Amino acid sequence: MLRTESLARVFQADEVETRALNNIDFRVKPGEFIAIMGPSGCGKSTLLNIMGLLDSPTSGNYYFMDENVARYSEKRRAQIRKSNIGFIFQNFNLIDELSVFENVELPLYYLGIGSSIRRTRVEEMLEKMGLAYRRNHFPVQLSGGQQQQVAVARALITNPALILADEPTGNLDSARGEEIMDALTLLNEGGTTIVMVTHSQRDAEYSSRIVHLFDGRVVNERF
């Protein structure tokens, strides 16, 4: 599904150069569930952002669906991203002014899908996630676990081939975190490819492969 070749990302601030990723060779097969681990500042989120087409590498190649997207413009990356990738963030990233229904609907709106189809798909998704009774509520009216459930529903609404999750249980208690990990496991069993950044060894054990980063390099992989 995706692979990198000698991938590097360097950030320049004044006269200080920070090498966040250092010649990474990495491959994700369709249907895998991969956990990326490592200390803070090792490059986990940078790698996830490049895989999600939110950023471009400084050098090296990145192939997504057999297409080298490393030098694509932001506009072209956005076109590929919104049709193929769903994101789940630690801080949920819900829009406070929108209801649960509207937050989940938003990706379909950006894809130009008609209102009647959007309504049907969102209602089905909310029912599936057990959120139908919250459809008119706003994020501030929800618990952390419910907000993350909405974020998962929003990530899934376009039926993406790939889910990228950045610390998806980081702001949740253990019970709510387990619910989210169980939901991701079910998605993966249904064929969705998942790449998750996490500090939690417990969460990482849900995956089929654990990749350890250190100083911007892959130092270990465990199946």
pLDDT in tens, 67-99: 999 999 999 999 999 889 999 988 889 999 999
214 CB-near residues (< 8 Å, 6+ apart): 38, 39, 42
Q: How far is 10 from 74, CA to CA, in rounded Å?
A: 18
Which spans in 27-173 are helix H? Answer: 44-51, 74-84, 100-110, 115-128, 144-156
For position 4, what pLDDT does the model report?
95
When pLDDT is cut at 50, 70 and 90, the band that residue 150 belongs to is: very high
Q: What is the mean pLDDT of the chain?
A: 93
Share of the chain above pLDDT 70, in %: 100
Angle between helix 144-156 and 174-189 (nearest 10) = 10
Angle between helix 144-156 and 100-110 (nearest 10) = 20
pLDDT digits (tens, 9 = 90+) for 125-141: 999 888 999 999 999 99
**Residue 94 main-chain phi, psi, to 5 deg:** -80, 155
Report pTM. Answer: 0.91
Percent helix, strand, coil in the chain, to 5, is 35, 30, 35
DSSP annotation of 139 reads: G
The residue type of 172 is L
Q: How many CB atoms lie within 10 A of CB 101?
A: 22
For position 91, what pLDDT does the model report?
87
Q: How far is 56 from 89, CA to CA, in rounded Å?
A: 19
